[in-house]
Structure formats: C-alpha cells, structure tokens
Structure 1
Amino acid sequence: MPPRPSLPLRTQTDAPSEPPADATKPDDTAIDDVYAQVDATGSLEAAARKLAAIAAAEAEDGGVTPVVVQRRQVWEDEDDEYFYRGGGGEAEEEAEEIEHLQEVYDGLWVGDLVAAMDGDGLRERRITNIVSLLRPRLHFESSFATYPVEIDDVATSDMLQYLPSTSAWIGEALARRAGEAITERSGDIAPGVGETTAGAVLVHCQAGMSRSATVAAAFLMRAAGLDPVEAVAVVREARPVVDPSETFWHQLGLYYLADGRVTMKDRATRQWYLERTTGMVMNQGAAPSTEHMARYPATPSASQPPTPSGGQGRRKIRCKMCRRHLAVREHMMDHILDQSPISRPRTPSNITLPGPLAMTAEQAPATEGVADVINPLTGLPLSKSRRGSSAGDEGRPRARSILGGSGAPEPMTSSASVSRRPSQNARPILDADQLAARLPPQLAALRAAQSGGASPATSTAASSPEASGTPLSAVANAPTPSAPPRRPSFGIAAPAPILVNPKCSGYFVEPLTWMEPVLNAGGVSGKLVCPNDKCGAKIGTFDWAGMQCGCREWVTPGFCIHRSKVDEVW
C-alpha cells in the first residue's frame, strides 16, 4: 500500500455544525470521513471514489442523495466530459474519477474538499492561494497563502460580510500572478488576513457548489461588472454543479445593489440584517446587537452635494418634549413608506417660512374686498381695518368699500370708526391691502398660507368686483377657496409627510442605536424612551415578535413611536 498522502490538518471547534445546503453531513464529519478513507485506501483519489460510492449506496437504501451527487448524475447524462476517462479505455472504467475543481476564470478555480486536500494537484495547476470556506478550518502547508472563512451553508449564514474582503483578496492575488506590483493593499481586505502570492487561486467548500460559487461569483461581479445571474452563469459554465443556496443568492443581490460595498447606510442591507436579528432573538433568545442597526444621525449619510432643505431624506421626527431628533424617513418600515399620500394628512409639522424665491403671482384671490390686517411682528391676523384711504399726491388707489362704490368708504355710526383724512404732512394711514403689500415676503407668504388669501400684488385687482364683472352679492356669498399648499424655501418642492394614514398608531421604525439601553435589557418587548438623558419621556413601545398598527397592518419587528409623542419636521 502506498504511503498515506500528506493532508492539511483540521482545527478543533466546539461550535455546533449543520449539514450545508449542498450535502448531507456537516463539514467536520466530511473531513473526518476523508481522513478515515485515506487511511483505509492509502490514496486521496481512491478515498474520494469510496465516499462517492457510499453516498450512492445510502441513497439506494432509502437515504437522501446529496444535492451535489444529484447534480453530478444529471451532468453525467448531459456531458460525459465531466468525467475523466479511465486509463485502460474500458467502458466499465469510465466515470471512474470525478474532476474535483475547474477553472472558472483566468487563474480562479472553484473546487470541493478533496481538491483542497490534494496538495500535489494544486501545485500542478500553480495554485498558491486558497480561500477555504469550511467549519472547522483547515491548516494548509506554509507554501499556500490562505484566507480561511469559517462559515456554514445554512439559512442564517452571513456570507455578505465577507464578500468585499474575499473579492479584494482574490483580485490582489491575480494581480500579482499577472506581474502587477502591489504598492498598497486594498482597504476592503479584512485586518489580519495573510498576504497573497503570485499564483492562481482556489475557492473551495465541502462540495464546491454553494459557498465557493458565491464567493467566486462575487469576485466576478466586482472584476467584470456582472450582475449576480451573469456571474453565477459564468461559474456554472465551467463547473455545472454549482448552485448557490437561496440565502446566498439573496446576499449576492444585496452585494450587487450596494455596488460591492456592505454598509449600514444602505437600507436594503439593514433590512436583511434586521430580519436575521429578529430570527435570532425570537428563535435562539440571543441578545440583539447594534452592530447592524442604523445610527441616527450618522445614517443615512449626507449626500454630496448636500441635499437642499426639503429633500426627501430630510423629513424626520423629533421628541415633542425636548425636540431631540429620533429618525428620518429612510428609517421607517415599509409599512409606512408604502402608503399613498392622502389629501389632508393629520401629521403634525412645523411651519417653515418660504423664502423670497418661492413667492409667485399665481395665488388664490382674496375672499373679501378688505383683507384682515397682519401684525408685522407676529404674522398673526388682527381685527379688520376700520380706516379708509383716499387718493393722495402719490397716486395711491382708494380702498374699495365692501358695501360698494369707488369713493371713500361709507361712514359708520360709531364715532370711533369714522374714517379720518390725514393732514398733508402727517404719516398716511394705510388700508389693509396697502399695509399687506409692505409686509416682508416671509410674513406675506405665511398670511397667504393661513388665510387662503392672495398675495399683496394681486389681491386688490383680483378681488375687484368691477374688474371681474361679478356682482357684489356673488362676491360676498362666494365659498372660501382652500388654502394653497405651502411652498418651501428657494422653490424646492416640500417632501410628502412620512405618516399619511390617520389610522396608523405611529411611526414604525427600524431598531436604532439610541435604543441600545432598552434592548440590552434582553426583553422581547418593552417601552421606548427618549434618548435625551434630560428628557426620558416614554415615546413608544417595541416587540420583536411584531405588533398590529391601528390600520390593522401587522409589522414585524414592531418598533412603534407614537404619533402623539413626536413632531414631524423637515
């Protein structure tokens, strides 16, 4: 019997391991089986054939056929080139040895556990760099540069966090292989990962089907600008058995949408981690971590150039008691964001005075001939003007009486309300429209927004019964037009309110880092308090299992900030 080949050693781990999506046994069991069969047969190739025969026999006896074996059987029927031909050329020797790795890109190979343990085969292909995706990890010879990632192929696995680093590491190795000088290491490579060497790269897992294919596809997405479907298709063309699991497909999509980055500033990434955290809290009783939670005001990041006032990302809620900002629109759950605006939202908001550029002439006409007087200091309406005005030397128009006529207003019975004619040198007394015409643009716009009246420039002419040809009685009895919408500063369209459904209990948000003191208590449910130490007011409730909104929508997880406790501003 030939001497036992030199195989990489495995580490010891106490972490429970589950069978990966493409096999029926955990990684540590698969490694032990390879060791045992190598000891029994004296050859790694013979051990691999023996293990394949055992798996096929177990399937015939009613066991479960590993997914990778099923794919290989289908591939065998479709393409005989998948198998090496036996050296003797006999028919019974065909399909005797399975090819355990394929080159999917220039210098990039994808393979299984047997391929990773075959040091001689790796050297023949000039593979000097290995990305090993197993739990437990393998210890390779010192001549190989390794990037070990201990990860299972199960629904809860987080491969996404490793994709930027593995892609950059593979790219660095292939650049050295091409003779390029690496003067500065990519910042995407995780700290502590070993240096690469000038050679080809093997990415492997137990079956060379799901985990390894995901990492290889992520590199192709970054290097060749492919989307996930195109990248997996390239890998599958060279190695038809590859088939990333459903969760890895989803993570490849997130990696693509985030443009090759994994950041909590990306809403889709945060939502995926939120679902994962919710499952861990509910199913495993694990304490939630704030590592993958949104940070306010650090997330979402400020745009470059900065978003003008009124941009969609600036709508936010704040504590009514202390005015501490709590969350922005992007932190809201889809339950809130998917609603359609209604005509008159009942959302509280601050009044933002429009700037000069927002003033336009297309304002609604005033409802009366003499408008209410506005206090220039407060911008609030006072009582109606009881002072008339006649045409002076400056040619100012006479104020029209609401009773009709073009001259001075009719005198009233009360002596206090009699019109007074100013002296030549005295300060002229202005009527309501003339006074409004002298208001600063901000106060004039506020007056128009509150009263639904016209701008000073158009109120006199537009409200004139003679100019419009409308009888005075019709003017007096006309319905009051609705107030025009407020216009924000500099002519920027105001963002729609966040909460538009009056039946909603409040603002359902993602878990935020300022909730950490409450979440660290370990409760599945509880109350939310304002993060301001000097305030501490109760502003909402949370339940990881979810809660029902007032609109009867069930939201999971449920982090609700009550609408009566906050103001919505922008």
Structure 2
Amino acid sequence: MAMNQVPGHNIYIGGKHSHLINIISIPVDDVEDENLLEHLPAAVRFIQAGLDGGGGVLVHCAMGKSRSATVCIAYLLHQQPGALTPQSALEILRQARPLCEPNDGFMKQLELYHEMGCPDDVTENPVYQRWLYHRDVEESVACGRAPELKSVRFEDELPVQPKENNTGRSVEIKCRKCRRTLATTPFIINHEQNQQRSARAPANVECAHVFLHPLKWMRPSLFPSSVQDGADPDADSTYDEYSADAPLSGRLTCPNSGCGANIGKFAWQGMQCSCGGWVVPAIGLAKARVDIASRTNLAARGPGESPALGIRMPPGMRASETNDPGSGRGNL
C-alpha cells in the first residue's frame, strides 16, 4: 500500500505495508468508542522528536485511513491551533491522501483536543475528564442502569472550580419555595449549539428546564441509598460504593431538609428539551419551580463597559434589564 507525504511536512501517512523505519504504534482499534484522545500528546511528541532529529516520520495503521489520519491531524492542530480546525486539517491530508477519513468518534476526540488547546497532557484537563464521565454514563445506560456513583463528576466538588464568565453578568437559580440557592452560571449547560428542533416543535418555544451539570446537593436524588438517614448532603464525603438501586431517571428535590419541593427531573439516558434539543445526560430544573435572576459584578467589567452588558444564554434564558425575583420569568 502506498504512502503519501503530508503537504508541507516531512511526515508520511500510509498503511501497514508501507516501508519506513519510523512508525507510531498506538494500541487502539478503529472503532468510535476507543479512547485515542489520551494517546494524542505522546504521538505528537514522537512525531516532533523524529522531525527534530532530521528524519522523516511514517504514521501508519492498517489502511492509512482513520487512526493514522487522526494522529496526523492532531500534529497539525498542535502546530497551528489558532489557524486550523480538525476539519481543515483533514482537508490538508486529503490533498495528498484522499481516502483519509477518521471515524466519527475520532473526529469528536479531535474536536475536544482542539477545544483544550492541544495540550501536552490531556488527562488532567476538565474537558477530558468530563468526556470520560459521559462515556461511563453512556456505557451504563446501554446496560439499562444508572452510572456508578464513583464515576459521576459532581462539579462543585472538583479541586478546580469552573470560573464565572468575565462579562460582569451571571445567573443565580433558587428554589422558589424556600429560596435555597441551587446553581450559578458555571454549572449551567448551554445546549443551544447542539439543538436539533423536532419537526413538530413550535418555533420560538422556550426551554421549560434549565439543565445543569451534577452538583453535590443532587446526590440524594440521583443515588438515594448512598446517603445515610440524617446525613448532610452538602458535607464533604467520599462515596465509592455502587448503588445497585440507583434510578435511571427520576425527580429532583430541593436539598433544604425543611423544604423538599419537587424542583425538576433527571434522566441519565437523556431527554428532549421543549425547544427540540436533546441533552444527554439530562439533569434539569423546571423553570416553573425555581426563580432565576441575573447578578451584576461591577468588578468583573472592563473600563468603560456599559452596565447593560449581557451574556449569551440558552433559549428561554435571555437576560433582560428588569428582574422580577418572584417569578423567575423574564429575567433570562
């Protein structure tokens, strides 16, 4: 099988019958659910070391089509992260080798690699860790059960907390009944970019739920048997056991022990928002059961910025200039 030179680089891509000494061997199969992402930084370093030594590098797999193309794309992205995207880098490869076609799972991993900034190590990156968590959820759901508690990322328990946006505006969500704070901007999932509207969904329909990443106060709802009677769900604890009776879907209740109001629902298998978009996994607060208010942080604004500066929010969560703390509607 022929090998082809990557345009502008002393790198070659080919199949297993190509004849060069320098070969990258990555122990993964060409299937969408393989984790090739964790190997990309090492592969990029290997290629760079070969080039720095004055030689040429052959990146090969069985057909020179998917795995090898993924590694070459990763190298190109690492060299020009601001100028290339996974798709544009793929087009460069196809100029020399038209059959290059990473499988859909590998293309998604390249998008994540690019989103992370093509780092020298991906394993400690929150984007990578969240991707692993989603993989665990998908595998569990495929078996008809909820994920193991130890595999779930409770975002407000992580060593490095997500940062508020730097626009000077943020969102705070509270239980409508008891006013207990439930979530703020960094924990809200914006599903607008992946929205796939159903043909039957009316136009301009607002989202009925605000979707969140898992937070530690949700533990009693998501994993009922993991919290002992009388235990404080907000206390810092480590739970390693697997809850065999953890529900695949169910209701979210307010973590205030004196309230316990029904404030939303969850579905590990995902659910379709009223706007037509799918969220997987889905943990949603019902807008009718919570109050949503925008907050202003003057210190976060740059010099001369207008007080009316806003932030882009998911459908149905657009910020307005007036807040009605009693309704939770019209604020976003």
TM-score range, shorter chain: 0.5 to 0.7
The correspondence for 1:334, drawn from 188, 191, 208, is 191
User: 1: CA distance between counterparts of 2:48 and 2:256?
Assistant: 46
Partner of 2:328: none
Shift of the alpha carbon at 1:295?
1.4
Task: Tell me the alpha carbon deviations over residues 303-359 of structure 1, each in whole angstroms, 9 at most, x when there is no partner.
Answer: 6xx836x42xx2132445473442426623426998xxxxxxxxxxxxxxxxxxxxx
The correspondence for 2:34, drawn from 157, 164, 181, is 157
Q: Give the AA of the match of 1:280.
A: E
Q: Is the partner of 2:166 in helix, strand or coil?
A: coil
User: 2: CA distance between counterparts of 1:237 and 1:548?
Assistant: 40
Q: TM-score, normalised by structure 1?
A: 0.37
CA RMSD in angstroms, aligned pairs only: 4.3
Partner of 2:101: 243
Partner of 1:255: 113
Partner of 1:295: 155
The answer as to whether partners of 1:506 and 1:562 remain within 8 angstroms in 2 is yes
User: 1: CA distance between counterparts of 2:292 and 2:194?
Assistant: 15
Seq. identity, %: 31
The answer as to whether partners of 2:44 and 2:71 remain within 8 angstroms in 1 is yes
User: 1: CA distance between counterparts of 2:39 and 2:140?
Assistant: 23
The correspondence for 1:544, drawn from 258, 264, 268, is 268
User: 2: CA distance between counterparts of 1:168 and 1:532?
Assistant: 51
Partner of 2:172: 316
The answer as to whether partners of 1:335 and 1:508 remain within 8 angstroms in 2 is no
User: 1: CA distance between counterparts of 2:257 and 2:17?
Assistant: 59
The answer as to whether partners of 1:280 and 1:286 remain within 8 angstroms in 2 is no
Partner of 1:110: 13
Partner of 1:210: 66
Superposition pairs of residues 52-131 of structure 1, within 5 angstroms: 98-99=1-2, 101-104=3-6, 106-115=9-18, 121-123=19-21, 127=22, 130-131=23-24
Shift of the alpha carbon at 1:228?
2.3
Confirm or deny that 1:221 pairs with 2:77: yes
Q: Is the partner of 1:242 in helix, strand or coil?
A: coil
The correspondence for 2:25, drawn from 122, 132, 157, is 132
Task: Tell me the alpha carbon deviations over residues 405-433 of structure 1, each in whole angstroms, 9 at most, x when there is no partner.
Answer: xxxxxxxxxxxxxxxxxxxxxxxxxxxxx
Segments of structure 2 that go 5 or more residues without pairing to the other structure are 196-203, 224-241, 296-332
| Count of aligned positions | 255
Task: Tell me the alpha carbon deviations over residues 266-303 of structure 1, each in whole angstroms, 9 at most, x when there is no partner.
Answer: 6xx79977875554333234653676857138677336
Q: Is the partner of 2:155 in helix, strand or coil?
A: coil
The answer as to whether partners of 2:172 and 2:181 remain within 8 angstroms in 1 is no
Q: Give the AA of the match of 1:316.
A: E
Task: Tell me the alpha carbon deviations over residues 236-295 of structure 1, each in whole angstroms, 9 at most, x when there is no partner.
Answer: 3343432222332333334334432568656xx799778755543332346536768571
Segments of structure 1 that go 5 or more residues without pairing to the other structure are 1-97, 116-120, 134-149, 179-198, 339-500
Q: Give the AA of the match of 2:90.
A: V
Q: Is the partner of 1:113 in helix, strand or coil?
A: coil
User: 1: CA distance between counterparts of 2:172 and 2:126?
Assistant: 16
Q: Give the AA of the match of 1:295.
A: E
User: 2: CA distance between counterparts of 1:337 and 1:229?
Assistant: 18
Q: Give the AA of the match of 2:155.
A: R
Superposition pairs of residues 114-513 of structure 1, within 5 angstroms: 114-115=17-18, 121-123=19-21, 127=22, 130-133=23-26, 150-175=27-52, 177-178=53-54, 200-225=56-81, 226-261=84-119, 276=135, 279-285=138-144, 287-288=146-147, 293=153, 295-296=155-156, 301-302=162-163, 307=166, 310-311=168-169, 314-319=170-175, 321=178, 323-328=180-185, 331-334=188-191, 505-512=208-215
Shift of the alpha carbon at 1:559?
1.7
The answer as to whether partners of 1:526 and 1:543 remain within 8 angstroms in 2 is yes
Shift of the alpha carbon at 1:515?
4.1
Task: Tell me the alpha carbon deviations over residues 166-208 of structure 1, each in whole angstroms, 9 at most, x when there is no partner.
Answer: 3244334433x15xxxxxxxxxxxxxxxxxxxx6543332222
Bigger relative contact order, structure 1 or 2 (CA pairs below 8 A, ≥6 apart): 2
Q: Is the partner of 1:162 in helix, strand or coil?
A: helix
Partner of 2:324: none
Q: Is the partner of 2:59 in helix, strand or coil?
A: strand
The answer as to whether partners of 1:514 and 1:531 remain within 8 angstroms in 2 is yes
Q: TM-score, normalised by structure 2?
A: 0.58
User: 2: CA distance between counterparts of 1:205 and 1:568?
Assistant: 52
Shift of the alpha carbon at 1:542?
1.0
User: 2: CA distance between counterparts of 1:297 and 1:206?
Assistant: 43
Task: Tell me the alpha carbon deviations over residues 64-85 of structure 1, each in whole angstroms, 9 at most, x when there is no partner.
Answer: xxxxxxxxxxxxxxxxxxxxxx
The answer as to whether partners of 1:110 and 1:204 remain within 8 angstroms in 2 is yes
